[in-house]
């Protein structure tokens, strides 16, 4: 194997490995809870990931609040 092809394979391997790419946590009840949310926000270094995570948690909490409901009976009729 020539030095050029070995160098090319090394460069390709480094590019494909995704070095330094941080992953955003999945929005869930445990990651979007206020204390956990602040912890994950402080751990994210990339501003785009912070914004995406905040938006995902906001959407998750909005959907959760729409699913949670409580039966409220109508007031009694007084004819």
Residue 6 domain-assigned?
no
Domain that holds residue 49: 24-68
Q: What is the pLDDT of residue 35?
A: 92
Q: Compute CA distances 56 → 28, 35, 64, 66, whole Å.
A: 9, 16, 12, 15
For 28-77, the pLDDT digits (tens) are 999 999 999 999 999 999 999 999 999 999 999 999 988 887 888 888 88
Whether residue 17 is contained in a domain is answered as: no
Is residue 37 situated within a structural domain?
yes
| Model pTM score | 0.60
pLDDT in the model for residue 56? 95
The number of folded domains in the chain is 1
- pLDDT higher than threshold 70 for residue 4: no
Measured CA to CA, the distance from residue 28 to residue 60 in angstroms comes to 7
Residue 12 belongs to a domain: no
pLDDT, tens digit, 9 for 90 and up, residues 10-30: 656 555 555 567 888 899 999
- CA–CA gap between residue 44 and residue 50 (Å, rounded): 6
């Amino acid at each position: 194997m020539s030095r050029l092809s070995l160098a090319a394979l090394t460069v390709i391997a480094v590019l494909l490995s995704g070095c330094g790419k941080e992953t955003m946590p999945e929005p869930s009840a445990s990651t979007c809870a206020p204390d956990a949310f602040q912890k994950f926000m402080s751990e994210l270094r990339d501003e785009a990931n912070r914004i995406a995570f905040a938006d995902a948690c906001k959407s998750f909490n909005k959907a959760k609040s729409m699913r949670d409901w409580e039966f409220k009976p109508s007031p009694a009729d007084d004819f």
